[in-house]
Amino acid sequence: MNEYHNIETDLILEVSEGLTKNGKTLEGVYFKEEKIENGRVHVTDVEIRTELGARQMGKPKGKYITLESGLLKENCGIDVCAETLSKYIKKLLPHKWNRILAVGLGNRELTVDSLGPKVIDNLFMTYQDMEEGLCGLAPGVMAQTGMETADIIKGVIDQTKPDAVIVIDALAARSIHRLGTTIQLTNTGITPGSGVGNHRNSLTESSLGIPVLAIGVPMIVRTSTIVYDTFSSIIEILQSKHTLRETGKRISEFTVQEKYELIQELLTPEVGNLCVTPKDIDELVFYIGKTVSRGINKAVYE
Q: What tens digit of pLDDT does each residue of 284-300 get?
A: 999 999 999 999 999 99
Q: How confident is the model at residue 257, as a pLDDT? A: 66
Q: How many CB atoms lie within 10 A of CB 301?
A: 11
Which uninterrupted H or E stretch holds 102? strand 99-104
Q: At what angle do helices 256-271 and 223-240 cross, to 10 degrees?
A: 120
* CATH class, 4-221+279-301 region: alpha beta
Q: Which of 219, 216, 221 is nearest to 184 (CA)?
A: 216
Average the pLDDT over 54-82 and give the result: 90
Sign of the dihedral through C-alpha 74, 77, 79, 82? negative
Q: Backbone phi, then psi, for 48, in 5-degree steps?
A: -95, 115
- pLDDT tens for each residue of 129-159: 667 889 999 998 888 888 889 999 999 999 9
pLDDT class of 188 with cuts at 50, 70, 90? very high
Return the higher-pLDDT residue of 222 and 42. 42
Query: What is the mean pLDDT of the segment spanning 191-197?
Result: 57
Residue 182 has pLDDT above 60, yes or no: yes
Task: Write the DSSP assignment of 232-258 as a string of letters.
Answer: HHHHHHHHHSGGGHHHHHHHHTS-HHH
Give pLDDT tens digits for 214-246.
Answer: 999 999 988 777 777 677 777 777 777 777 777
CB count in 10 Å sphere of residue 34 = 10
pLDDT band at 67, cuts 50/70/90?
A: very high
Among 41-55, 60-74, 126-140, 258-272, the minimum mean pLDDT is found in: 258-272
| Per-residue pLDDT band at 38 (split at 50, 70, 90) | confident
Do 102 and 168 touch, CB atoms closer than 8 A? yes
Q: Where are the domains of the chain?
A: 4-221+279-301, 224-275
> What is the secondary structure of 5-35 as a DSSP string?
GGS----HHHHHHHHHHTT---SSEEEEEEE
Mean pLDDT of 244-270: 70
Q: Ranked by mean pLDDT, which of 25-34, 50-59, 60-69, 170-179 comes out on top?
A: 60-69
**Does the structure show a pLDDT above 80 at 65?**
yes
Q: Of the ranges 66-80, 160-174, 257-271, which one carries the lowest mean pLDDT score? A: 257-271
Give the pLDDT confidence score for residue 259 in this predicted structure: 67
Cβ atoms of 12 and 29 within 8 Å: the answer is: no
pLDDT confidence of 275, banded at 50, 70, 90? Answer: confident
Condensed to tens digits (0 to 9), the pLDDT of residues 73-127 reads 888 789 999 999 999 999 999 888 899 999 999 999 999 999 999 999 999 998 7
Can you say whether the dihedral through the CA atoms of 254, 17, 181, 236 is positive or negative? positive
Do 64 and 46 contact (CB within 8 A), yes or no? yes
% of the chain with per-residue pLDDT over 70: 85
- Residue closest to 218 by CA, chosen among 180, 273, 189, 166: 180
Q: What integer best gives the mean pLDDT of the chain?
A: 85
In this structure, are residues 296 and 119 in contact, taking their beta carbons and an 8 Å threshold?
Answer: yes
The whole-angstrom separation of Cα 49 and Cα 103 is 27
